[in-house]
Amino acid sequence: MQKLIFPEHFQWGTATASYQIEGAWNADGRGLSIWDVFSHTPGKVKNGDTGDVACDSYHRIDEDVALLQKLGVKVYRFSVAWPRIYPEGTGTLNKPGLDYYHRLVDALLAADIEPFCTLYHWDLPQALQEKGGWDNRETIDHFVHYAETLFQQFNGKIKNWITINEPWCVSILSNYLGAHAPGNQDLQMALDIGHHLLLAHGKTVQRFRQLNMEGQIGIAPNVSWNEPYSNREEDVAAARRMRGACNEWFLDPLFKGSYPDFMVAWYQKMGASVNIQPEDMAIIQQPIDFLGINYYTGSLVTYKQGEGDYDGEDVEEGRERTDIGWNIYPEGFYNVLTWLTEQYGDVPIYITENGACYNDEVQNGKVADTRRIAYLQKHLLQLHRAIASGVNMKGYMTWSLMDNFEWAEGYSKRFGIVHVNFETLVRTPKQSFEWYQQVIAHNRLEV
């Protein structure tokens, strides 16, 4: 048995998001979000599930913080529901909504757990969506105003801020592929939305600096690792496009101040281009304190004309897949992290999401989710490799603390290290919780 030791002060954590766990969808003045509307629309979410109740975490702060304390994490990533703070997106501040997050943050600090706050994890106020949502540039300034409110309310209490969770999901998945709220299917709109999200990020970072806030701020894109099936030029180009749509499309503006030419050309072939105003790229390229990385899966890609949006097809290698159907591709974790450092320099990185979907149920009071342990073990080994190779890794937050509302999959897909019975809301730590507890306690991985 080998013991892989992680750096001293490595920050172990776990993560959730407001719409996925809170419930209390219409309590204490909370306004409607686009996910309330989407999940209440028949046919959009599996089994007609909604986030109306979810894990009821809005009413279970002490119970959930006790789980975090038992787990032994140093950091806890959660998100604030914009419609709880500004029910209409702007205008009147909803104090009861703000008070909920004060209670949560105070409980975390009392438990010696660092809050990691995501400002936007997809629950846009519906009132703003009705004025065009992220496709309307005015939403950018409403977001900065919402963020500034939280900065002023929590300065000194929350010292770790993430502006936007996964711009690719908010733009492409939600407004071109139409799989998530609000469900548009318009590539030009999706590219404009992606640009507006990056602008909202950049302007929020500027405001954070102007307010001389304590702490650090970053953004959390999802990344994918797609390698060419062969060294044939067409396979290399197809894999590059698949990676580029997810990775460079957002990372190049953030760190290089421009969109990747090869993807601009590809989208032009698809009939779309980004509308950039003169100051935009300088705003987007605001220096950040860390990069959050969400990694789940990867693939080998072969060129196939007309396949998907990028003339690329995942090759079926016979790899094990999780219960949501995603390839288990641990070496992609190492490859994407070392690639990030080669491409964008020595930026401090937190893994803000990594985890697996397995739908194990409670049997005799226990959940033997050994496949999740195997997934985490394989990925933490690759993470350790990346650190040994010089990647500036600051921490790791597994997705997720508990089973929760998995967007269009509803409650049919479980990512938690704590099982939730969605009838009774009883939480049951899984075997992976106990395994992760030991990794954290000893700051090491046994392989």
Ligand X SMILES: OC[C@@H]1[C@@H](O)[C@H](O)[C@@H](O)c2nc(CNc3ccccc3)cn21
The footprint of ligand X (CB under 6 A) covers 17, 20, 165-166, 169, 173, 222, 294, 296, 353, 399, 406, 415
Q: Which of 22, 114, 313, 353 is catalytic?
A: 353
What b/e sequence results for 337-369 when a residue is b if at least 16 CB atoms lie within 10 Å of its CB, and e otherwise?
Answer: bebbbeebeebebbbbbbbbbbebeeeeeebeb
The residue (of 290 and 296) whose beta carbon lies closer to ligand X is 296
What residue number has its CB nearest to ligand X? 222
Q: What tokens appear for 234 in the block?
A: 């067409």
CB atoms within 10 A of CB 15: 29
For residues 427 and 291, give the distance between their C-alpha atoms in angstroms, rounded to a whole number: 31
DSSP string, 336-384: HHHHHHHHH-S--EEEEE---------BTTB---HHHHHHHHHHHHHHH
CB of 294 to ligand X, least distance (A): 5
Beta bridge partners of 84: none
Q: What is the nearest approach in angstroms of ligand X to the Cβ of residue 348? A: 20
Min CB(54)–ligand X separation in Å: 12
Q: Is the peptide bond before 400 cis (omega within 30 degrees of 0)?
A: yes
143 or 415: whose CB is closer to ligand X?
415
* Cβ distance to ligand X smaller for residue 124 or 213: 124
For 243, the enclosing helix (H) or strand (E) is: helix 233-246
Three-class SS of 266-284: HHHHCCCCCCCCCCHHHHH
Coil/strand/helix, residue 426? coil
Which of 107, 246 has the CB closer to ligand X? 246
Which lies closer to ligand X via its Cβ, residue 6 or residue 38?
Answer: 38
> Of 411, 426, 436, 435, which is closest to residue 357 (Cα–Cα)?
411
Please, what is the minimum distance in Å from the beta carbon of residue 221 to ligand X?
A: 10
Measure the CA–CA gap between 23 and 118, rounded to whole angstroms. 17
320 in catalytic set: no
Instruction: Pick the closer one to ligand X by CB: 165 or 302.
Output: 165
CB of 173 to ligand X, least distance (A): 6
Q: Which of 119, 208, 192 is nearest to 162 (CA)?
A: 119
Least separation in angstroms between residue 164's CB and ligand X is: 11
| Secondary structure (H, E, C), 294-310 | EEEEEEEEEECCCCCCC
Show which residues are catalytic.
353
